[in-house]
C-alpha cells in the first residue's frame, strides 16, 4: 500500500500572458487591430520557479505569500488543474480541494440536479451522490430554492450549495485556499466545523492563507512563496517571521 505524499522536483509552470487579459467579446472585436499589434510583444509568465517540496503523511503545511506570490497557482498545480512546464510532480492519494467552489455549475439545472453534476466532476459515482444528497441539501439549508435553477440564486446561496457539495466528501490530501465566506453567521459556524472535521480526517493538509493566527494554530510547517519561488520551508513560526520580513510587516 502506497503512502500518501506530494513530491515536487524542480517544478516550473508558465502561463500564457493572454490568460491575464480580462477582455470581453466586445472589446476583442473593437480592439482587434490593437491585439494584432500587441501579439508580437506578449510573452509567457513564469508563475512557479524551480519548486522543490516533499510532503508526507501527517503533515500540516501553511502556505504564505503576498497576493500574486503563487500560492493559488501552486495549489492548483498540485491538484492537477495546471500542467507543469518542467520538472516532476508526484501526488499519491485522493485530493480534495476547496477553492473556486462556484465553478462547474449548470445554471439552468436546479440545485438538486447540480449536486449530481458537481459530484461527477469531483470523481464521485451517481450512486454515491444520491446516497449523500439529503445531507448536502440539509447542510446548504436553501429551503424550496434547492429545486429552483441555480441561475436564480444569489451569490451567497450559490456559495452555500457549492460549499456543501465540495465538503461532503473527504480525501487523503486536503488543499484549502483562504477562508470561505459562506453566508450568515449560523452557516459560517457550520462551515468552520465542517472544515475542522475535514482537516482532522485528512492525512495531508496544505492551507494557503493570510490569517497568520490560523496558520500558527493549525500548521507545524510553513512554506513561504515570493514571486513564484520558495523563499523559506521550515517550522511555521520561522515561516511567519520570514514572511513578515520579506513583506515588511511588523
**Residue 104: how many other CB atoms lie within 10 Å:** 15
Place of cell 480592439: 31
Please list, in sequence order, all residues whose beta carbon lies within 8 angstroms of the beta carbon of residue 68, skipping any fewer than 6 positions away.
Answer: none
Residue 129 has pLDDT above 60, yes or no: yes
Q: Where are the domains of the chain?
A: 5-94+210-247, 111-172+180-206
C-alpha of 237 from chain center: 24
Residue 32 has pLDDT above 80, yes or no: no
Q: What pLDDT is stored for residue 49 in this prediction?
A: 97
Residue 20 has pLDDT above 50, yes or no: no
Provide mean pLDDT across the span 187-215: 88
Q: What pLDDT is stored for residue 235 in this prediction?
A: 98
Residue 2 has pLDDT above 80, yes or no: no
Q: Which among 108, 166, 111, 103 is positioned nearest to 141, based on CA atoms? A: 111
**CB half-sphere exposure, 149, CA atoms < 13 A:** 6
Q: What pLDDT is stored for residue 183 in this prediction?
A: 58
Split at pLDDT 50, 70, 90, the class of 1 is low
Which stretch of 171-175, 179-183, 227-231 has the lowest confidence by average pLDDT? 179-183
**Average predicted confidence (pLDDT) for the chain:** 86
Q: Residues 98, 151, 100, CA angle at the centre, nearest 5°? A: 15
Q: Which CATH number fits domain 5-94+210-247: 3.40.50.300, 3.90.105.10, 3.40.50.2300, 1.10.645.10?
A: 3.40.50.300
pLDDT digits (tens, 9 = 90+) for 152-163: 998 888 888 888
Residue 44 has pLDDT above 60, yes or no: yes
Helix or strand (DSSP H, E) at 214:
helix 212-218
Note the pTM of the prediction, 2 decimals: 0.80
Provide mean pLDDT across the span 64-75: 94
Provide mean pLDDT across the span 159-181: 82
Which stretch of 4-13, 79-88, 171-180 has the lowest confidence by average pLDDT? 171-180
Amino acid at each position: 500500500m502506497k503512502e500518501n505524499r506530494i513530491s515536487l522536483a524542480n517544478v516550473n509552470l508558465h502561463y500564457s500572458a493572454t490568460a491575464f487579459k480580462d477582455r470581453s467579446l466586445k472589446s476583442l472585436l473593437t480592439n482587434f487591430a490593437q491585439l494584432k499589434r500587441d501579439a508580437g510583444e506578449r510573452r509567457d509568465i513564469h508563475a512557479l520557479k524551480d519548486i522543490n517540496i516533499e510532503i508526507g503523511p501527517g503533515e500540516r503545511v501553511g502556505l504564505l505569500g503576498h497576493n500574486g506570490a503563487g500560492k493559488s497557482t501552486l495549489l492548483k498545480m498540485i491538484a492537477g488543474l495546471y500542467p507543469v512546464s518542467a520538472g516532476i510532480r508526484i501526488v499519491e492519494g485522493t485530493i480534495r480541494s476547496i477553492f473556486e467552489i462556484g465553478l462547474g455549475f449548470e445554471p439552468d439545472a436546479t440545485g438538486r440536479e447540480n449536486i449530481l453534476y458537481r459530484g461527477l466532476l469531483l470523481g464521485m459515482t451517481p450512486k454515491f451522490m444520491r446516497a449523500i444528497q439529503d445531507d448536502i441539501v440539509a447542510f446548504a439549508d436553501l429551503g424550496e430554492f434547492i429545486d429552483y435553477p441555480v441561475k436564480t440564486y444569489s451569490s451567497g446561496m450559490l456559495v452555500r450549495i457549492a460549499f456543501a457539495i465540495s465538503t461532503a466528501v473527504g480525501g487523503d490530501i486536503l488543499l484549502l485556499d483562504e477562508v470561505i465566506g459562506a453566508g450568515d453567521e449560523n452557516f459560517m459556524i457550520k462551515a468552520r466545523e465542517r472544515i475542522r472535521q475535514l482537516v482532522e480526517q485528512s492525512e495531508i493538509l496544505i492551507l494557503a492563507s493570510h490569517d497568520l493566527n490560523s496558520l500558527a494554530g493549525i500548521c507545524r510547517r510553513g512554506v513561504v512563496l515570493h514571486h513564484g519561488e520558495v523563499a523559506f520551508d521550515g517550522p511555521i513560526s520561522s515561516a511567519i517571521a520570514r514572511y513578515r520580513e520579506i513583506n515588511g510587516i511588523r
